[in-house]
């Protein structure tokens, strides 16, 4: 049966999806932090773990300010991205190669989140959720900053490999 969907429904769906994604990430980032050899990379994952916990709370605030209710659902995209990261941890021994893989896996996650929050901001704006959009933008900026930080690690990882060769 075809369900009639409104833009509001879409907003709720997307927000519920990223809520699930963030919750899954809190566990995954702890794993990434443990798997990383480079202490700075490990710390970066830990810092983003703390940020992510704040982002989950921020979604609760968005829900309140928009007067909506989240649906119970699982973000299968994030589940897959996390699974790919886990495969790397299972297959590669601890060291610079695994670190480079972890950075790549984490950047895929950040790009997913950037796309999700970017779309939520655009749709939320259309719906007139000014306060909610402000909160979502704050998270979007954190995701972008994390992605940039990871890019620096990616470049340094490449240099370390080249130096070792």
Which positions touch Fe ion (CB under 5 A)? 22, 52, 55, 113, 143
Nearer to Fe ion, 16 or 55 (CB): 55
Residue 14 tokens, joined: 């997307």
* CB 28 to Fe ion: min, Å: 10
Nearer to Fe ion, 97 or 134 (CB): 134
* CB 164 to Fe ion: min, Å: 30
Cα atoms in the 13 Å half-sphere on the side-chain side of 27? 9
Residue 94 tokens, joined: 């601890």
Nearer to Fe ion, 106 or 157 (CB): 106
* CB 10 to Fe ion: min, Å: 20
Nearer to Fe ion, 38 or 52 (CB): 52
* CB 131 to Fe ion: min, Å: 19
Please state, in angstroms and rounded to a whole number, the distance separating the CA atoms of residues 66 and 102.
36
């Amino acid at each position: 049966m075809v369900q009639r969907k409104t833009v509001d429904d879409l907003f709720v769906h997307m927000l519920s999806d990223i809520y699930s994604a963030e919750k899954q990430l809190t566990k995954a980032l702890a794993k990434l932090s443990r798997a990383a050899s480079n202490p700075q990379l490990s710390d970066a994952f830990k810092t983003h773990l703390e940020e992510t916990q704040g982002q989950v709370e921020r979604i609760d605030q968005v829900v309140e300010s928009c007067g909506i209710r989240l649906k119970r659902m699982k973000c299968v995209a994030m589940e897959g991205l996390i699974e790919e990261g886990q495969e790397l941890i299972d297959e590669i021994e601890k060291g610079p190669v695994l670190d480079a893989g972890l950075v790549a896996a984490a950047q895929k996650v950040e790009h997913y989140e950037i796309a999700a929050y970017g779309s939520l901001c655009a749709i939320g704006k259309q719906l007139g959720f000014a306060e909610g959009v402000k909160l979502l933008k704050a998270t979007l900026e954190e995701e972008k900053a994390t992605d940039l930080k990871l890019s620096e690690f990616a470049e340094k990882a490449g240099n370390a490999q080249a130096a070792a060769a």
